Amino acid sequence: MNASNDVERSLAQWMEAVVPKRAPDFIAPSVLAQTRAMSPRPAWLARLLEHPMHTQLSLRRAAGFGRSTRLILAGLLVVALVAGAILVGSHLVQQRSLPPPFGPAGNGLIAANIDGSVVVMQPDGSDVHRLALPFAGVARMAFSRGGTRLAAWWTPDPASGAELGLMVSEADGSDAFELGTTRYALHDTSRIEWSPDDRRFAFSDGSDRLFVADVDGRSVREVAPDATIRARRGPTWSPDGQLAYRCETTDGVLHLCVMGADFKAERILKTSPGTEFAFQHSSWSHDGTRIAYYVDDVIDHPATSPGWDVATIDPETGVEHILTRGTAEHTILPVWTPDSRFILVAGGIVAADGSGVRLIGAACGWTSPSPDGRFAICVAADPPSRLELWPVEGGAPITLPLDGRPETVAWQRLSP
């Protein structure tokens, strides 16, 4: 066949000729046998864990250089490395010298995202008021660690709601501005992660691209220094400004990656044995000594585990500790308490020393700690118009009924 022939027609005919008309008879019975004893995930969890599809058609190719060009580049590289080392060194010193607001503090305010607005209240549910923000469809707000700033997504086209913009304001909603004009399609778990110094925040979009926003500079940039990594999701900051996140190399393998505070280099800290959901939305402890993530025991330990379990890793040594085994709930979306003693997960509270896990119900979605670390708060899925405040050390939950259905909840830290 000549290549100039009608390729489209030939392709269609070839596919029609070679496609099998029937599947092997065992496939459907095998699937039904596997799924019969399996309960479908709750809707919110299924959407949270949806894996994005990589649809890039070709991988980036490294540019080819001649020998002389390489020599010149090598010389320039040496000069750049020396200059870079000086700059990075001074930058890191600056990062570490910042006084990050880690550690326990007095409790602040609770903010719930209801009907495209931010509703703020006292921790006992009193003094409910709506922030006056000049943006429509505000969602997934996050207060900076010091509690002085607010960042959130907003919806330029509420009819479609497909793409979102970024907004920043003071914590009370004043001085609001749009951060850049880029629109982002988001994954259900895309959330804003403020840096320890409150000057920046990081997030990943629905295509698993990692961005860092410079709030003072009013700019957003994608950070992707290593071309062999094709996807980055769910960043979390270390106290000294490094980022950890789930990454996927171009060979399809999932890893836990760490990027330096200068965003110029990244390294693989841990590689998944092949699970689909491992390392999503990890959390760096506030003392900087551990990163919490979850492992997918459905695949890793199918004989013993019905869901996911939580592990921590020392970012310096790479030593991993699996804290739970065969936990009945989906122990995903880990978040450290400020004192680094507990890890809150969807549906549970895990002791960071591995001494136990306390289940608080699958109805709790993303759970976050109060600024003093004493409470875990979550949006209750059923019935939906309430928040639940669980004492971390034990005890019955406090229920906060709301006028409206909250989508997300966050704490605003107040100075103690």
Partner 1 sequence: MDRTLVERARQGDHAAFAILAESSTDRLYGVATLILRDSDRAQDAVQEALVSAWRDVRGLRDPEAWDAWIHRLVVRACYREADRHRRRRLLAETFDPTPPTIGDGYTELADRDEIERGFRRLTVEQRAILVLHFHGGLSAAETGAVLGIAEGTAKSRLSRALHAMRAALEADARTIQLNPRRPA
Binding residues vs partner 1 (CB under 8 A): 1-3, 7-8, 10-12, 14-24, 27-28, 30-32, 34-36, 38-47, 49-58, 251-253, 274, 276
23 vs 79, which CB is nearer to partner 1?
Answer: 23
56 vs 90, which CB is nearer to partner 1?
Answer: 56
b/e map 263-282, b = 16+ CB within 10 Å:
beebebbbebeebebbbbbb
Q: Indicate the SS3 state at residue 12.
A: helix
36 vs 67, which CB is nearer to partner 1?
Answer: 36
User: If you write DSSP's letter for every residue of 319-361 in order, what string do you get?
Assistant: -EEE--SS-SS---S-EE-TTSSEEEETTEEEETTSS-EEE--
Minimum CB–partner distance for residue 253 and partner 1 (Å): 7
| Kind plus residue range of the DSSP H or E element containing 77 | helix 67-97
Please provide residue 374's backbone torsions phi and psi, each rounded to the nearest 5 degrees: -90, -20
- Maximum Cα–Cα distance for the chain, whole Å? 78
Minimum CB–partner distance for residue 14 and partner 1 (Å): 4
Please provide residue 88's backbone torsions phi and psi, each rounded to the nearest 5 degrees: -65, -40
List the beta bridge partners of residue 165.
Answer: 154
Please provide residue 91's backbone torsions phi and psi, each rounded to the nearest 5 degrees: -65, -45
User: If you write DSSP's letter for every residue of 178-195 in order, what string do you get?
Assistant: E--S--B---TT---EE-
Minimum CB–partner distance for residue 119 and partner 1 (Å): 25
78: left (phi over 0), alpha (psi -120 to 50) or beta: alpha
Minimum CB–partner distance for residue 46 and partner 1 (Å): 3
45 vs 352, which CB is nearer to partner 1?
Answer: 45
Two tokens, residue 276: 């689909």
DSSP state of 75: H
59 vs 319, which CB is nearer to partner 1?
Answer: 59
Minimum CB–partner distance for residue 41 and partner 1 (Å): 6
54 vs 70, which CB is nearer to partner 1?
Answer: 54
Distance CA 224, CA 263 (A): 8
Minimum CB–partner distance for residue 324 and partner 1 (Å): 21
DSSP state of 198: S
Minimum CB–partner distance for residue 238 and partner 1 (Å): 30
Minimum CB–partner distance for residue 62 and partner 1 (Å): 17
Minimum CB–partner distance for residue 116 and partner 1 (Å): 18
321 vs 405, which CB is nearer to partner 1?
Answer: 405
34 vs 317, which CB is nearer to partner 1?
Answer: 34
98 vs 298, which CB is nearer to partner 1?
Answer: 298
Q: Which amino acid is at 400?
A: L
Contact 277, 241 (CB under 8 A): no
